[in-house]
Amino acid sequence: MDRIVLDHMEFYGYHGCLSEERQQGQKFFVDLTMQLDLRAAGEQDDLGQTVNYADVFTKIRSVVEGEPCRLIEAVAERIASMVLREYPRVQCVDVTVHKPSAPIPGDFRDVAVAITRERA
């Protein structure tokens, strides 16, 4: 299956279990891979035969910068559900939500969750 990849999208959100996270907010990064058939888009050079990734970016921004969740697992689930609902050409989506400033006592580079969801 062909893929469209949006990598390391940066947003500012208010997700977390701690009140400080929900008040102060922090940066989140999202990686997204959409699996779909891109043959017709490539052969016909037609945006109507693919998914407009600028539109996808805007909708992901509205999820991450929108209503706060306690868990980044929930953020990832909302993104995956939105993509499958809004873009019927997409057959499968991989979503990774990174929270590099998670409140963990100790040194680390990143905390992330990754999910895969397929069209039923």
DSSP state of 103: -
Q: Which residues contact 69 (CB under 8 A, 6 or more apart)?
A: 15, 75, 78
Determine whether 59 is an active site residue: no
Task: List the strands of the sheet with 2-13, edge to edge.
Answer: 2-13, 26-36, 92-98, 112-118
Q: Which residues contact 63 (CB under 8 A, 6 or more apart)?
A: 75, 78, 79, 82
CA distance 37 to 50: 8
Catalytic residue, chosen from 15, 78, 98, 99, is 99
Residues that are catalytic: 99
